[in-house]
């Protein structure tokens, strides 16, 4: 995976924290190189945990705001500025109830405004429904016709979702060295507060590090994030 300072990276994630779990080390490394990054969250990642009614609506709204604020703190650790983060705040685990064209148009607008050369998003076979819909919406929004500046699309894995598909496990075929940024990745995950867990939960520091060690071992480096290269083209 080669990047230049001319590259612009757009990350489309279903929920705040997916970006850290999927490519937090890569984000930090790319920002160290001065590469511009924009991150878009389609869902708020909170409301599915509650019975939504008038009685607890105020509390849910407060929790969504907290999740968004924690995301800003986490991404600050990775050197992503607040103005480069977009919260669409659609209901959690309900992206399948939203007309696909609406989600596609949101992504198309970000592509049109930002003009990314590289896109990162979810693996198509994740267990989480919002991850699946995000992938399908990105796929529609990145049709080769009319998006000449997009040269590569990478799919990332998200602990507590991707690894639960035992039938179609994540087929990593690209690896990014995060040996210098693994600690920042874990620090960013901890900034998400309630979303960070203790071992043996997948969103614990030991499991996050273990996956990075495993992906690194696949290509002979200390720590790596693995990706599935969906498509790429020569920019020459």
Query: What count of residues does the chain have?
Result: 236
- Ordered per-residue pLDDT tens for the chain, 236 residues: 889 999 999 999 999 999 999 999 999 999 999 999 999 999 998 878 776 666 688 888 899 999 999 999 999 999 999 999 999 999 999 999 999 999 999 999 999 999 999 999 999 999 999 999 999 999 999 998 777 889 999 999 999 999 999 999 999 999 999 999 999 999 999 999 999 999 999 999 999 999 999 999 999 999 999 999 999 987 55
Strands 118-122 vs 152-156: parallel, antiparallel or unpaired: parallel
* Whole-number Å distance between alpha carbons of 20 and 202: 13
Residue-level pLDDT at 54:
60
Q: What is the CATH number of domain 8-232?
A: 3.40.50.10320
- Strands (E) across the chain are located at 8-13, 36-43, 85-90, 118-122, 152-156, 174-177, 224-232
Residue-level pLDDT at 187:
98
Give the three-class secondary structure for 150. coil
* Whole-number Å distance between alpha carbons of 223 and 179: 5
Residue-level pLDDT at 53:
65
Contact of 119 with 224, CB cutoff 8 Å: no
Give Cα separations from 219 to 154, 158, 222 (angstroms): 18, 20, 9
* Whole-number Å distance between alpha carbons of 43 and 49: 13
- Spatial neighbors of 161 by CB under 8 A, at least 6 apart, are 126, 127, 128, 131
Residue-level pLDDT at 88:
96
Q: Where are the domains of the chain?
A: 8-232
DSSP-assigned letter for residue 11: E
Give the three-class secondary structure for 125. coil
């Amino acid at each position: 995976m080669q990047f230049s300072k001319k590259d612009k990276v757009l990350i489309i994630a279903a929920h705040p924290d997916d970006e850290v779990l999927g490519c937090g080390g890569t984000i930090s490394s790319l920002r160290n190189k001065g590469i511009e990054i924009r991150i878009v969250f389609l869902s708020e990642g909170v409301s599915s945990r509650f019975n939504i009614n008038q009685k607890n609506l105020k509390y849910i709204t407060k929790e969504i705001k907290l999740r968004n604020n924690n995301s800003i703190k986490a991404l600050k650790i990775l050197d992503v500025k607040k103005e480069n983060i977009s919260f669409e705040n659609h209901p959690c685990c309900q992206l399948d109830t939203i007309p696909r064209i609406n989600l596609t148009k949101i992504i198309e607008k970000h592509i049109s405004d930002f003009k990314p050369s590289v896109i990162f998003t979810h693996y198509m076979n994740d267990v989480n429904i919002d991850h699946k819909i995000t992938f399908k919406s990105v796929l529609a929004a990145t049709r080769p016709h009319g998006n000449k500046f997009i040269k590569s699309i990478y799919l990332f894995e998200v602990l507590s979702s991707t690894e639960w598909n035992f039938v179609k496990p994540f087929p990593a075929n690209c690896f990014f060295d995060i040996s210098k940024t693994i600690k920042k990745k874990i620090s960013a995950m901890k900034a998400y507060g309630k979303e960070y867990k203790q071992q043996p939960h997948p969103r614990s520091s030991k499991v996050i590090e273990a996956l990075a060690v495993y992906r690194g071992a696949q290509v002979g480096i200390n720590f790596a994030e693995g990706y599935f290269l969906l498509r790429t083209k020569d920019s020459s």
